[in-house]
Structure 1
Amino acid sequence: MRLTRRAALAAGLATLAAPSLRAQGRRLDILSHRVHQGVLTGGAAGDLTEAWRRANGAEIAWTTADIGPLQDRLLREASLPSTDFGVGYLLNSRATADTARLLEPLDPLMAAEPVANFEDIAPGLRDAMRLGGATVAIPVRQGCNGLFYNAAMLEERGVAPPRSFEEFLEACRRLTYRPSGGAPVVGLVMTAALAAYPVMFARAFGGDFITADFRVIPDAAAMTKAIAAIRGLFEAGALPRSYATTTNEDQVTWLQQGRAAFAILPFARHAQLNRADGSRFPGRIMVTEMPVSASAPAGTQMASVVEFWSMCIPRNARDKRLAWSFIREMSSPAVTLGSARNGNGPVRVSTYSDPAFVADNPNAATEAAALSRARIPFPAFPEASRAEAIFVEEVQAAVLGRKAPEAAVTDTIARVRPLLPA
């Protein structure tokens, strides 16, 4: 077979055209944790990205990493002249004013192509992603904390689920005992390593650690009561002697094994805590909201501590319209419900009223109420880690009897205030 000049020229043009034709296929690069990819691409609801990919003629390239490396990579990529990543996942604790300057302000995109029923996303989450007057990320996955308790133990000791913070403290004391022939039980297992737990106690009295406008301990009396309450539980033996070294996973284990009656954990832990292959009390570990104190100001409602992830667009991304199209679709009510069925913590309050979701989630109404009022433990800022470490140190010192709760509050304010943004 002879190769004519015309045939050779046609073959050459086809070869040159091939990369061009391939380039017409769109690709969205996403930087996330593998869990984020998993809840959108597999599970009971299937691959929730498929319809978007077909409609946009685009493929998704997922790059996943653990939390620390993921956040560092996102900020590093966003600091370059340009980045291949169109979408990144941002943890609320990294959403500082400096980070916001590296991200695309989403309000103009939202004005042109809104997220469906955006107000349905819990307000505490939406507010935390509004920095410098602009929305910089859309919440998509949350872990809201509730008060878990062992119903079997409460029934055995004749204790009703607490309706006030004072009843909760009394229940912790009454459920500190040694069963006949069994290991000692403490009323409450709680880690001392995180600010979230004393923050929950402070909010029960109408107080807080750091407000959204960066006031540290705005109500010293409320925080003093909170720390004194934790100290009282420790002195009564209602917290483990190992309180200072207890971890988050220890809380799960102690509750599953019946070594503690109460624990403060994300609502999403309910299924794990009640698994027949891991718990001595399958089906008997319940969850409710942390109650508020009878001495709190009138109208005080518990603002449970919540941590969450959001989707953002680096300011230097190449195809922001494609990225925004993806975020809009993945934030829609339908995909939020689907990802919840795939194991995600839904950020929309309405998801908890879907009949199918409620059927599989006995705590849906309780979590919906908690989520609707939930707030992050404290706002993100450059010295937030140091501020939390100081707060944790002062609380521990007071709980262990090394200083008075009043002194811990005073010293926290004095040490943290210089770290806050001007």
Structure 2
Amino acid sequence: MSSFILNANIYDFGTDAGAWRAPGTGPRDNLSEAFWRTVARTAEEGGLDGIFLADGPGLSSNPAIRPNRMVEPLATLAVVLSETSRLGVIATVSTGSNDPVELASRLLDYNLLSQGRFGWNVVTGLPELSAQDFKVPQTPERADRYARATEFLQVYAHYLDAVREGKDFHHSGERLQYSLARGELPTQGAAARFSTQVRPLIVQAGGSEQGRRLAAQSADAVFSAETVFEVARKNRLELHAMARESGRRPPVVLPGVHLVIGSTQAEAEARFQRVHQRGPKDYVLQRFSSLLDIPADRLDPQAPASALEQLAGSTERGSAGFRKSITAYGVANGLTIGQLIRHFSGFGHQFFVGTPEQFADVAERWWRGGAADGFNLLFDANPIGLREFVDHAMPVLRQRGIVPPEPVATPLAFAQRLQELSA
């Protein structure tokens, strides 16, 4: 069996709201080239497979409260590429605020410069605060977002085919229309020639039914929100079946894990508290409320987790995937809403606080049990969380045969490994 895929989801200073105030951290560090070069070297030298950057069109939070996601991911990953020779890089791009042909021409340049190490994560959202920047009168409903994304990816794929085969490109759809002669295609020369060898990987992260269908029809990898082993295994099997029905190779499934590593359980918990207590007052509650599209004043800390389904709104603004995974975890473990808020710290991914050996137990069970092909790792604080994982957890994972003793050094290894896993 192929080894586990491990990507570092670098959420700037870290996933915890207090990460930017951690000891030794400056509030502008994430705007410096040195920060990203350190992250890139640590991930590559430590044997991780790739770096994943989440993003959206516009600032996702108030910099006065928490300065994060302030640099456009394609610009950030250019620094990561220049510092590495093997590491895969995945940037999040919205289908709601881009043109598929223009985007494809840019991504093929990254594909060439990275020698096949590049991929993009498809998101469909257009935040309400960003809609005016793109002359959109109101935020599109979920069905409209996914209808555009489906056509967007069809255009993108057919355009790449035209580039690879050197032929004219035409598309006439409900939302997008193009008619380009071969000589008018924006992508020419070396980028076009290299695309005949490998094209950028496509990652999809939507957890709704529309998102899962889109992933099955187009994605090489899925960044999923899974918290319960049995549910994750079922989701992976369903995604594989849906992909085969579409005549495609099944995607690699990579659940997210928000983690804090310590040499003992007590040490890990102490470090979590040390960082977490530096976060803004009520930040976690407000983020949890926004994530699930439930007003904060309706979240009774003493109520059972099952109450979330009755409380939730339309999920047009909230995340259907996160709500499903959080509720499933709470019900499976008999937790209250208050315990869930603390446990997920405002995020919807599996939350792990413990030792390298305990994490290896989780990874091995999910991998060998068919629930995951790997994990996207979200560290509580960067770069310290990434460094501690590389120094302490990776050796244990190697000893157990979960990751290879030495990473394959060729630039194409990232794309090839994902393709081999999904074969």
What range describes the TM-score normalised by the shorter chain of this pair? Answer: under 0.3
TM-score, length-normalised on structure 1? 0.25
TM-score (norm 2): 0.25
